[in-house]
Amino acid sequence: MSRIGKLPVNLPSGVTVSVDDANVVSVKGPLGTLSQKVDSDIRVEVENNEIVLSRPSDEKRVKSLHGLYRALLANMVVGVSKGYRKDLELVGVGYRAEAKGQLLEMSLGYSHDIIMEMPKEIRVETKTEKRSNPVISLSSIDRQLIGHVAAKIRSLRPPEPYKGKGIKFVGEQLRRKAGKSAGV
């Protein structure tokens, strides 16, 4: 058995799960609804306030899907009950960000400002205080989507190893390099 796949997913209060004939799992909670198509080889059952996944064989492909779908369903349950949040910090002189509804306008040291349109499932906020770096906060119920959007924003100006300038996740430890040594 898969170590991850055999663990049941506990359902908190207020979260309901339904599985239809096409093996599409819908999770509904206080923050919204998410659905995921599950491979036909994986059987999903809801019993005793838990989601239990099982597989018919020990074929390598089916074993890998077992753990994958269990993790995806667990992320959906957490998303509709608590939600997810990612914070990105802009480190650099003159770097700024401003949220205008679903548009995120960033100045990252290029000759032009970068404007990104956020998906409707993601809420974006920016915070700029004196003497601190601007912070972009993304929140959503979909963990895959929020991770994808955060990685896309970070890729616009990844942190460089010498001065640490760029867009980094809050709390991320950067690997810094020493600069040129003077006259060795």
Sequential pLDDT tens for the chain (184 residues): 458 888 999 999 999 999 998 899 999 999 999 999 999 999 999 988 999 999 888 888 998 899 999 999 999 999 999 999 999 999 999 999 999 999 999 999 999 999 999 999 999 999 998 889 999 999 999 999 999 999 999 999 999 999 889 999 999 898 888 888 755 5
What are the boundaries of each domain within the chain? 9-81, 84-169
Q: Is pTM beyond 0.85 here?
A: yes
Fold designation for 9-81: Outer Surface Protein A; domain 3 (3.90.930)
For the chain, counts of helices (H) and of strands (E): 2, 13
Check residue 164 and give its pLDDT: 87
Amino acid 184: pLDDT: 56
Q: Do domains 9-81 and 84-169 have the same CATH topology?
A: yes
CATH topology of domain 84-169: Outer Surface Protein A; domain 3 (3.90.930)
- State how far the Cα of 139 lies from the Cα of 7, in Å rounded to an integer: 27
Beta pairing, strands 123-127 & 166-169: unpaired
